[in-house]
Amino acid sequence: MSILIQDCSVGVIEAPKYNNFLITTSQLHFAHLSPLYCYFTLNMRQFFFLAAFTGLIGLAKSDNWLYDRYPARKDAGFVGNLPNDPPPEFHSEPPDLFVDWLRSVVNRNDSLELQNVFKNGTIPDHVNSIDDLILHVKTPKEPTTPILGPPIPIKAPAYDPQTEAARLFRHLNYPLDPRCLINKSSWWYRTYEGNCNWLKQSETSEGSVGTARQRDYQQHTYADGISKPREGPNAREVSNAFFKRKKKIYYEHTPLLLGLIEFIMHDVTYSQDSTEESIQVTMPKDEEVFPLNTTLKVQRTAAVPGTGTSESNPRENINMASTWLDISSLYGSTSDVALRLRSKVDGKLLTQEVQTPGTKASASYLPFNTMNVSTNTRSGVKVEDLFAGGDPRTNEDWLLLGVHTLLLREHNRLCNILKKQKPDWDDEQLYQTVRLVMSAKYALIANSYQMAYWTEEMPWPRDDGFPLYRQMFGENALEINPANTYPWPLVTKNGKPMTVSAEMAVVYRFHEFIIPSFPIKNQNNETLWEQNLFDTGFNATGFLNVGLERVLAGTVASHIPNFKSGVDEHFRSAEKYRGHQFDIVVSSIVHEREQGLPTFNQYFREYNKQNPKVVVPIRDTWSKFSSDPEVVRDLERLYDHPDDVDLVVGCQLDEEWFPGTTVPKSALIISLFSLFGMGNSDRFSIGFSMMRCLLVDRPWDCHPSNALEDLLWEHKKVPGFPNFRFYNEFWLKELDLPAHGTNLLWRLITENSEINCVQRSPLFPHDNITNPLMCIGIMAIIHFLQSWPWGDAPPSHIGWPIIGQALSFQRNPLKVLRRGFKKYSHSVSRCFGIKLASLTHYVITNPRDLQLMMDDNTSERKFSLHEFLRAINFELITKKVNFESDLHTQLIRSHFGNPSTLARFHPVIETASKDFLKRKPLTMGEPIRNANINNWIDEYITFVVSRCIVGPEGYDNPELITTFLKFNNDAIATMGLSSMLPGFLQFLASRTINKDFDAIRRVTLPIIKKRREMHGKTEEPVFMDFILEEVDDDNCVADLIAIIVWGGLVNLQATFSSTLLDIINEPDGQSKLLPTLQCANVAELDTFRSWEIESPWNSLRSAMFESIRLSGPITGPARIVLEKVPLASQPSMKLPSRSVATLSAYSTHRDTAAWGEDAATYRPARFIQKAPPVGQPEFITWGLEGPHMCPGRWFGQATIMVMTKSVLETYNFKPERRLSDEEKYVYTAGNVGRVPVGMEVELRAKN
């Protein structure tokens, strides 16, 4: 049994299964084995009452996110409010999709490179975070040789960037270009122009500004084979025939998608016009819009100097943007432009701060072009009246400007974050590193953009960025996935990286998406006016007058057409665009021909030769282009042969979707397929960065090759491994990798504007079911685990107001503890605080500080257990009169602390055990499979404890057993709720437990009355008799029975369960132990002097103590600090008065300094010859040695051993799987649960 106000430190086996909301609030000590950070259960009405009372709005914080989201009110505007009583998006922490993905790749049988990184070549199912993952890295016992030292600082005289580069890039297996190695910045960061991304000698200009665009299959179809534009029918006549807006339009996406497509295209391609060459397009005879004498003028694309001289040297086209996904449209594609756009302060970009209509504060916008960067304009608009951006087309429309503005703000927001993390970094380091982080985010957003086209037929996984390639090559996710090293062969062409192709630059326009107008909405979601999109071109002042929020609110609340809708007449038949009449389709057709690109059939003949799984049929007859007879007639009228049909025309007419998408097959292959290839050809790709120290290096010898890798793989202090690195959890979350980046666009909007509410996927229109509006919490975007130094107090994890870290601690206390050790391990004391509701708990692990608490145990001048229990409202459970008198403690101390008295209970425990096994058999004869014995264990414990406390009469009453179990659950819940409420509302917390007391009284009062009458007349001991000797009031006796039984249940649920399940889990645990128990009998059982005598119980006793050692909770025992106490290990750091000083049984019991290298390994024979140091800092299960050490421990040991022996002699257990020590336990708020495992149970043959 146990003394209820004594020290203990093992929690219950499993939290009660209620369909209620769980919140951790404070610590609870039970006599035998706790303290237990308890939780309370609330129905939703109670929950929202409490939220309203405390002003709390963030009640479902998910540690995988840096933000909270809640369903919005239906009328929420862009400064939208949270609804009353908002239900959270997640009631429990969502899965980490990155960890899940990595587990699936590692655990497959043929992934040997990754398997070699992790213990046993696997990642267990219970690993669900980066903190969990690092524990499974298979670090060598001794450093591998040689271990390379940390890189020499750049400014050191002997530093040689070429030598370092040669070492870091040795896996590339090709000669490196020395021009890129002279200066580390050329390969550590992105260059502005895009060169030195591909480091191969003589090829470093691949993808850079001013180079020729690749051609997908090296096709040049000039009329003369050299440079003359390919012939074809009148481009305006083709536009009129095949590209007019359809009468029936299908809508699927928001205008935000259009702005994003524009930005992406401007990022990777910019066709500079020739100043000398143009193509004139006259009007066809049947022209209905433009006057017949109109001529549309289309400038030819500027040629790469020196090309177009012969058939062996045909004309190539200049790309004036870097072709990498590097956000050059924001930063610039040349060093001159980029430097003009920088503020030169803390890595930030230049801005202008403007408060626009309807917003609450000024915010950043692109600066006006006073620095004279190249900027396109229209007649009558000065370039200095337009915004300055990295691309000349920045001001083309407001949809594009919205994306520019969001990315500008995001860059500067990340600079603020990185500056706080790296205060010694200069402007250049901050700017260049954030630029890499931005391109990583951007690539992940581009992935979510391509996902906007997926249908339910797209095979899973859909969000890892690789479904197109799997479809294209007919492979599964185990064959094609992000686990690749750079360079990835699948995205190289002729030994070079994929960059933007000339075909993609023409086809990837998706002009059908263009809309004539979109709504401008105010903060109340009211449409102010319908804005003509054409009129937003080169209108920066108008954009400022309206403001980003009103533009975005309109773009996410309206629709754009899907494919097969035709092009809007505002852009197909524009009266004036930059001073000229204009047809956007004519422009594409002309550019295809003047660049000598292949026709539709020419292109796809070459494509089909690559043996793709997805084949594009060649249109050798007109009817194969379209099922529409009118289209077929027009094709035959305009073209001489099916092979002459232009590439953009064939793609426009394609009626077959690419599998699993809503994109025409041919258009997707040329556009999205190429975009994906470019992203995965990039040396700075987020995918390659995440794999660097798993596939190229190993975590214990990790050497980043660029600044992004350096940020993502942070140093870890591992003795003997100076280059040990593992994932930086903050930056993985900032990149939204736990959700595969699928929330980044939502975050980009809500973190960089006053739009608080937007649909979960902003590229799709809002739908209450499939795409609901989600609001960001008022307190979101604050790093959840704050460090808040309070004067000379140790640093603390503060968390939310009112409840602090309670929610995170209830869900995953081990994660919170490890974060604390990770963050504060540099201090001498390693002490840190965790705020749980009204109390801050300071975790004490330094031996000198533990000794300080032990020395105070007798006097309690500095640390008080009683005051701690009072602070967490323990008297609500024990009732105030019992709490003050401490009678239950005295009774247990007097009787269960007496060896002769306890010995009389041993036969009672044995009889009750055998009686239960007969009444509640797991099997009657035949073996049973898939048995979950956890609930059966709870009943078993309750039955035996009830027999010892209540006596032979009525102890087995089913109503009493059920009520005891309910009291156990409700007691924990009551304490949690009470600690959240002020005194005048604590009656709310006590209601449930008082009802349980009444129920127990109803059942036990007749038993008590009968027992009084026969007191002393039975030979068997009954603990109730000890109570009757001291208490006359039968109601008080009933209450004391409830309290004492409850203590027994809580403690045995953890210790007995762990002892039994650990033995079963060992392959030969039962077969080795049972022979040692053949001569064991309860008459010889002595838990007071067990190491002084040889006993057949010794093997079981040792196994029991080993299970108790390893099943300790994350925190406890604990004390209230009565006065300001300097830490013995670090006197400058003082524990504040009225805070909590708590030990950590989990940490102490797994300390390798105390227990050896196998401290975390279950060794059932560990205590055969030597007693555990109970009460010393190494073994704190029953508290530190002193007057408050748990006196019920002897009864607990006897009960565990007798019950375990009875079960093992009756049944043979075969678990469905063996759990590793890491897999056994489920930690929640001080409780230690066991992972349920199915069992095959069979009766043992009787001798």
Task: Identify the pLDDT of residue 634.
Answer: 96
Give the tokens for residue 1049.
Answer: 């249940």
Instruction: Enumerate residues 6+ apart whose C-beta is below 8 A from 1108.
Output: 10, 33, 1055, 1058, 1059, 1181
When pLDDT is cut at 50, 70 and 90, the band that residue 458 belongs to is confident
In this prediction, residue 33 carries a pLDDT of 29
pLDDT for the residue 87:
65
Place of tokens 């239900």: 87
Express each pLDDT in 1007-1051 by its tens digit. 888 888 876 567 789 888 888 888 888 888 888 888 888 777 777
For 577-583, the CB contacts below 8 A with 24+ separation are: 577/378, 577/534, 577/537, 578/376, 578/377, 578/378, 578/379, 578/538, 579/378, 579/379, 580/296, 580/297, 581/290, 581/294, 581/296, 582/296, 583/235, 583/236, 583/239, 583/281, 583/296
* Burial letters 823-842, b for 16+ CB under 10 A, else e: ebeebebbbbbbbbbbbbbb
Look at residue 1004 and give its three-state secondary structure.
helix
Whether the Cβ atoms of residue 835 and residue 805 lie closer than 8 Å to each other:
yes
Per-residue pLDDT reduced to its tens digit, 822-861: 777 667 888 888 877 667 889 998 888 988 988 888 888 8
Q: What pLDDT was estimated at residue 91?
A: 58
Q: Mean pLDDT over residues 68-94, rounded? A: 61
Highest mean pLDDT among 239-248, 409-418, 1184-1193: 409-418
Helices within 872-978 (DSSP H only): 875-878, 880-885, 887-895, 899-919, 934-950, 958-978
Instruction: Name the pLDDT band for 145 (thresholds 50, 70, 90).
Output: very low
In angstroms, rounded to a whole number, what is the distance separating the alpha carbons of residues 1058 and 1064?
A: 10
> 6, 1192 in Cβ contact below 8 A?
yes
The full set of domain ranges for the chain reads 253-271+324-452+516-557, 863-1243
- Confidence (pLDDT) at 725: 96
For the CA atoms of 1083, 1087, 1088, 1093, the dihedral, rounded to the nearest 10 degrees, stands at 70
β 1211-1215/832-836 pair status: unpaired
Is 124 a residue whose pLDDT tops 80? yes
Which residues, at least 6 apart from 620, have a Cβ–Cβ distance to it below 8 Å? Answer: 601, 642
* Confidence at residue 1016, expressed as pLDDT on a 0 to 100 scale: 59
What confidence score (pLDDT) does residue 990 get? Answer: 60
User: Can you read off the two tokens belonging to residue 1008?
Assistant: 């008590």
Q: Is the pLDDT of residue 139 over 50?
A: yes
- Tokens at 1224, concatenated: 């056994």
Positive or negative, the CA dihedral 60, 65, 71, 76 is positive
CA atoms of 123 and 105, how far apart (whole Å):
10
pLDDT of residue 1213: 92
Choose the weakest-confidence range: 573-577, 660-664, 1093-1097.
573-577
The predicted pLDDT at position 387 comes to 98
pLDDT at residue number 74: 54
What pLDDT shows up at residue 78?
A: 56
811 in Cβ contact with 28 (< 8 Å): no
pLDDT digits (tens, 9 = 90+) for 280-312: 999 999 999 999 999 999 999 999 999 999 999
pLDDT given for residue 1185 in this prediction? 82
Q: Is the pLDDT of residue 569 over 90?
A: no
- Tokens 């909590």 correspond to what residue? 1140
Highest mean pLDDT among 688-702, 798-812, 839-853: 688-702
Q: How far apart are CA 189 and CA 564, in angstroms?
A: 42
> 345 or 157: whose pLDDT is higher?
345
> Rounded CA gap, 807 and 62, in Å?
9
pTM attached to this predicted model: 0.65
The candidate with the shortest Cα–Cα distance to 505, out of 216, 132, 83, is 216
Q: Concatenate the DSSP letters of all residues of 667-701 into one string.
A: HHHHTHHHHHHHHTT-TT-HHHHHHIIIIISBTTB
Place of tokens 């980046």: 741
Condensed to tens digits (0 to 9), the pLDDT of residues 401-414 reads: 999 999 999 999 99
CATH architecture of the domain 253-271+324-452+516-557 equals Orthogonal Bundle (1.10)
Nearest Cα neighbor of 836 from 30, 34, 36 is 36
Q: 3-state class of 1228 per DSSP?
A: strand
DSSP single-letter state for residue 7 = -
Tell me if 511 is assigned to a ligand binding site.
yes
Rounded Cα distance, 481 and 478, in Å: 7
pLDDT at 565 over 90: no
Whole-number pLDDT of residue 230: 96
**CATH number belonging to domain 863-1243:** 1.10.630.10
Question: How crowded is residue 217: how many other Cβ atoms within 10 Å of its Cβ?
Answer: 17
Query: Does residue 239 contact residue 512 with C-beta atoms inside 8 Å?
Result: no
Pairing of strands 251-253, 517-521: unpaired
Q: Tens digit of pLDDT for each residue in 195-215?
A: 999 999 999 999 999 999 889
Most confident listed range (11-15, 535-539, 972-976): 535-539
CA angle (398 as vertex; 396, 404 as ends), nearest 5: 85
**Under a CB-based contact definition with an 8 Å cutoff, are residues 1239 and 931 in contact?**
yes
528-553: pLDDT as tens digits? 999 999 899 999 999 999 999 999 99
Q: What is the mean pLDDT of the chain?
A: 82
Nearest to 3, CA basis, from 1201, 1231, 1203, 1189: 1189
Nearest partner of 436 among 168, 735, 744, 739, judged by Cα: 735
Mean of the pLDDT values across residues 354-359? 93
Hey, what are 876's tokens?
A: 């609500």
Percent pLDDT > 70 in the chain is: 83
Res. 693 pLDDT band, cuts 50 70 90: very high
Distance of CA 47 to the CA centre of its chain: 26
**514, exposed or middle or buried, with CB in 10 Å at 0-12, 13-18, 19+?**
buried
Q: What is the pLDDT of residue 926?
A: 82
Predicted pLDDT of residue 1003? 87
840 residue type, one letter: T
**DSSP 3-state of 1104:** helix
Strand runs labelled E in 100-255: 211-212, 251-253
Do the Cβ atoms of 37 and 809 come closer than 8 Å?
Answer: yes
Query: Where does 533-673 show beta strands of DSSP type E?
Result: 560-561, 574-577, 580-582
User: Taking a C-beta distance cutoff of 8 angstroms, is the pair 624, 617 a contact?
Assistant: yes
